[in-house]
Copies of this chain bind each other. A is one copy, B any other.
């Protein structure tokens, strides 16, 4: 083993440290990356605090949200929206069902399906969670001009670009559904 261990000086010579800050470039700042990071962190922090008091995490929130937005949603549809695996979903969903926040009802047309509905308890937790988040969004949007909501919504929609299909799926479901089979 004649291989020598590189000294710190040698390493630095091979790849010297950089001391200049990574500055804003062009019209689109690196700043936006940080803004997204901090904004999303606060956005989720609101709900996280409440969830923790129920012994839940963010995953529970997401399931609860979409089940409330689209009662009667199937497992497969939920998996598509969340873009996680069946195994990841099941553990969390099971807790929500066992603790009575979500109920499963076999489909009538296709009895293999287990359609998901919020219970009263589930609906009210969702409302509690959403209220906090909506409040923050509301406060952030208020006062940035009348065009604010439209501009921001359009920005977010474009950011989620490849997933626009998920949003339009919700559009059709939220409006057309709601009657028990």
Number of copies: 2
Closest residue on chain B to residue A135 by CB atoms: B28
Interface size for A (C-beta < 8 A) is 86
**Quick check: B134 and A33 within 8 Å, CB to CB?**
yes
Tell me what chain A mostly uses at the interface: helix, strand, loop, or mixed.
helix
A161: which B residues are within 8 A, CB to CB?
42, 136, 139-140
Cα distance A3–B65 when bound, in Å?
Answer: 34
Q: Mark A149-181, 1 if CB is under 8 A from B, else 0.
A: 101111111111111001100100111011110
A residues apposed to B, CB below 8 Å: 11-12, 15-23, 25, 27-43, 62, 65, 68-72, 83, 100, 103, 105, 117-123, 126-127, 130, 133-134, 136-141, 144-145, 147-149, 151-163, 166-167, 170, 173-175, 177-180
